[in-house]
Amino acid sequence: MNKLPAKKLRDLGAFGLAGFASAAVLFSVAQLMSAFFATSSAPLVAMGSVFIDLTPPWLKDFAIATFGTNDKLALFISIGVVVAIAAVLLGILARRSFALAAGSIVVLAAVIGGAVLSRPATGLVDLTPIILGAVAGLATLRWLTKLAAKSRSTGSDAVPASGSSRRNFLLGSVLSLVGAAVATGVGKSLATARNVADSARAALGLPPAKVLAQAPPADAQIELSGMPKFITPNKDFYRIDTALSVPRINPSEWSLRVHGMVEKEFTLSFDELLAEDLVETYLTLTCVSNPVGGQLVGNAKWLGYPLRQLLERAVPKEGADMVLSTSIDGFSASTPLEILTDDRMALLAIGMNGEPLPLEHGFPVRMVVPGLYGYVSATKWVVDLEVTRFEDKAAYWTTRGWSDRGPIKLSSRVDVPRSFASVPAGKVVMGGTAWAQTRGISKVQVQIDDGDWKDTELGAEASVDTWRQWRYEWDGGTSGNHTVSVRAFDAQGEMQTSDKADPVPNGASGWQRVQFSVE
């Protein structure tokens, strides 16, 4: 192998560093400026969002399976690594030809600009951050590559560059990086200061419900260490969405447009919504991406206005069979009109467990619909309801390979013991959760190793729309490995299917089997 002379290596390193520092300046300046424009005018947000929208179902599923609800962090880190490598290569390219490197940056900026413009609710002015960022990045590259060239050893190895020119280059690079860090920090605080959604949420007092939900009976909760809380605290509630930066909506600027195949189109403001007769309901939400035994399920008390009443006001026309709900960031869900108008408690919700919706859970207004997976019903940051037909319109995930309808499958889970837990010899208390929203759970059974299926004790039922907990006392077995399997039955006696299915296209199925060992 040919070894690069140390001199050349040093030179490449210097230009690589120049490229890296210039990219840092480009992105941080754009990030800082994005505080004054649409959130998706920030390059990382725009690129990440486009990437998410282009993600095929198998990759989405892989990301959620691998990174869980950290999938967004994983995406940002991946983009960051790719950008950093590209930046170093661009710096090295600039050593050959500054014009070529500059041209590449302009092309990259144009691609990012395209990503910004492709986001919902962005316009030409939202290109300002990337344009200013690109100008700052180019200027930095010009400056640093000049310093790097000056610090380059002239002539033979025996005549090193003067120490001062090398110092100048290093100083320039450090200055650029520190400047980038400062710009990022200032951008962060600016964005926080300009975030009206947080302060509006803090100031919002929820009106009391006209129809109160009956509090769940105390023994809906099975007291056993390791069991989930019957009511999931907001901070622990799973979060799944395509939003790389949480939409920040000022409720006084929020409105919901109801239109399409209706006799009376109208637009609802937040104050009008608050003035309606609101109802409370306990409801367990479930994500279609939840694997067998997974944690993408949560139970909360919701406060909102029945969608049935809202749609009655609009008077849907003959032939309509779907409501396409769209969020401010372009996500959409297709919900059967029939389900939104029957007597289940489908809500346009503003409250979650006694608080205004948390920003990540849809502030100020979202939908929640008993019995349907979130991707076809639970639109957060909802701003538009179009009454239409399945034949005419397709929702966000439908165009990406998922089913256009998503009733929640009858499911059950083992929470205790955890997979691969080791339990002391003697009696073992097991526990878990089962759900069949709108129908209710009538029975849960477990099977230890290859034994007979045994009925478990059920916690009290709070409502057919909420999950139900179970517990089972096992006398214990020989020390070594054991398994416990679980299956549930709905109120009509229908048994959970043992057929294994992946989440794509309409939800996972199969019985969960947990391995554990007795000490």
Ligand X SMILES: Nc1nc2c(c(=O)[nH]1)N[C@H]1C(S)=C(S)[C@@H](COP(=O)(O)O)O[C@H]1N2
Spatial separation of the C-alpha atoms in residues 333 and 335, rounded to whole Å: 6
The type of residue at 379 is: T
Nearer to ligand X, 257 or 443 (CB): 257
Compare residues 220 and 378 and give the one whose CB is closer to ligand X.
378
**122/126 Cα distance (integer angstroms):** 6
Q: Which positions touch Mo ion (CB under 5 A)?
A: 240, 287-288, 374-375
Q: Do 247 and 41 contact (CB within 8 A), yes or no?
A: no
DSSP code of residue 393: -
Decide: is 299 part of the binding site for ligand X (CB under 6 A): no
| Closer of 147 and 285 to ligand X (Cβ) | 285
CB 325 within 8 A of CB 309: no
* Residue 393: CB minimum distance to ligand X, A: 17
Smallest distance from ligand X to CB 462, Å: 19
39 binds ligand X per the rule CB under 6 A: no
The yes or no reply on residue 361 touching ligand X (CB under 6 A) is yes
Q: Which does 90 bind (CB under 5 to 8 A by kind): ligand X, Mo ion, none?
A: none
* Distance of closest approach, residue 241 Cβ to Mo ion, in angstroms: 8
* Nearest distance, CB of residue 376 and ligand X, angstroms: 8
Q: Does 378 interact with ligand X (rule: CB under 6 A)?
A: yes
27 φψ region: left (φ > 0), alpha (ψ -120 to 50), beta (else): alpha
User: Of 187 and 374, which CB lies nearer to ligand X in the complex structure?
Assistant: 374
Instruction: Name which of Mo ion, ligand X, none residue 381 binds, using a CB cut-off of 5 to 8 Å depending on partner kind.
Output: ligand X
| Residues from 418 through 477 that contact ligand X (CB under 6 A) | none
Report the alpha-carbon distance of residue 121 to residue 108 in Å, rounded.
22
Q: Of the listed pieces 8-16, 202-210, 324-332, 412-420, which binds ligand X according to CB under 6 A?
A: 324-332
Q: In this complex, which beta carbon is closest to ligand X, that of residue 246 or of residue 416?
A: 246
Q: Which residues pair with 386 in a beta bridge?
A: 259, 324
Binding to ligand X, residues 188-247 (CB under 6 A): 237-243
Binding part of the chain for ligand X, among 265-273, 323-331, 469-477, 495-503 by CB under 6 A, reads 323-331
Contact partners, residue 391, CB within 8 Å, separation at least 6: none
Shortest spacing between CB 378 and Mo ion, in angstroms: 8
For residue 381, state whether it binds ligand X (rule: CB under 6 A): yes
DSSP H or E segment with residue 379 = none
Q: How far is the CB of 119 from ligand X (least distance, A)?
A: 13
DSSP labels, 177-204: HHHHHHHHHHHHHHHHHT-HHHHHHHHP
H or E stretch at 401:
none
Tell me whether strands 512-518 and 480-490 are parallel, antiparallel or unpaired: antiparallel
- Torsions phi, psi for 134 (to 5 deg): -65, -40
Tell me the three-class secondary structure of 79-121, residue by residue. HHHHHHHHHHHHHHHHHHCHHHHHHHHHHHHHHHHHHHHHCCC
Minimum Å distance from CB 391 to ligand X?
23
Q: Indicate the residue among 29 and 287 with the shorter CB distance to Mo ion.
A: 287
- CB of 394: closest distance to ligand X in angstroms? 15
What's the CA gap between 354 and 215, in Å, rounded?
12
Q: Tell me which residues touch ligand X (CB under 6 A).
A: 237-243, 285, 287, 298, 327, 329, 331, 361, 374-375, 378-381
